[in-house]
Amino acid sequence: MTHLYRLDSDAAAIANAFGMSKGDDPWAGGYIAPGNFAPVITAGREFIAGPRNAHTRPRMIPRIWGVPPPPNVPYDGHNAVLTVRNPDSPFWVGNLRNSEFRCLLPATAFMEWGSKTDAEGRRVQHWFAPSDQSIFAFAGVWKDSEVPGFALLTCEANALLKREGYERMPVILPPDPAVHQTWLYADWARARTLLQPYSSSLMRGVERSAV
């Protein structure tokens, strides 16, 4: 499961890549880990009442990676839910069906832990990124409860990640504004068709390091 990703661009560059205003987001670039704030692009409907088909413009705001677990699971501040494996789960389906809760999560690379350790016993990190877009978007969903959190949507791993021993990967959206619009505004029947592995031929392992 993805526990770390990078966004090595500042708010102005992110806004330019997605054709929007950067707003007041202070992001300057760096790593994003669970429990930390990250730039999130929403449909801009969080505080707007009325029909969901009303026109809104996307906006970029900071949110925390991870949402508190279901009510039947005690929340200790360290067991936030980071990813969505089953979009039909009652915990997620209401938010995913309502487009204003879907969001884009800008990134430049993501990490998966390797199964091996280096000579000093440190776990190995495998970093991956699309080769056809320098700043890309994960498909995400946000919830408001104790914290203004978000989670990544996941899907079956593509061939590249399967060769490294992974079964799942984050949903990476193609570099097409129409696809981004679909995820942010379309009905769930259309939006869920985007939950598929990114082509291995358009991805690369960008780094292997030990920590």
Q: Is the dihedral of CA 16, 33, 142, 112 positive or negative?
A: positive
pTM: 0.92
Residue 20, phi-psi category: left (phi > 0), alpha (psi -120 to 50), beta (remainder): beta
Position 179 scores a pLDDT of 97
**Bridging pattern class, strands 37-42 and 59-65:** antiparallel
Tell me: the pLDDT tens digits for 202-211?
999 876 655 4
pLDDT of residue 50: 46
What is the pLDDT, as a whole number, of residue 52?
54
| 170 vs 110: CA distance, rounded Å | 9
Answer whether 146's CB lies under 8 Å from 68's CB: yes
**Domain housing 186:** 4-210
173 has which bridge partners? 137
Let me know the angle formed at the C-alpha of 165 by 122 and 103, rounded to the nearest 5 degrees.
90
CATH number at residue 166: 3.90.1680.10
User: Residues near 116 by Cβ (< 8 Å), separated by ≥ 6?
Assistant: 124
End-to-end CA distance of the chain: 17
pLDDT value, residue 16: 93
Number of domains in the chain: 1
**102-150 per-position pLDDT tens digit:** 999 999 999 998 777 767 777 788 999 999 999 999 999 999 877 789 9
pLDDT at 71: 86
Residue 211 has a pLDDT of 46
List, run by run, the mean pLDDT of 10-residue segments along the chain (211 residues): 92 93 87 96 69 70 93 84 96 94 97 78 87 97 87 97 93 97 96 98 78 46
Q: What is the pLDDT of residue 49?
A: 46
Structure-token match 């999130």, residue found: 40
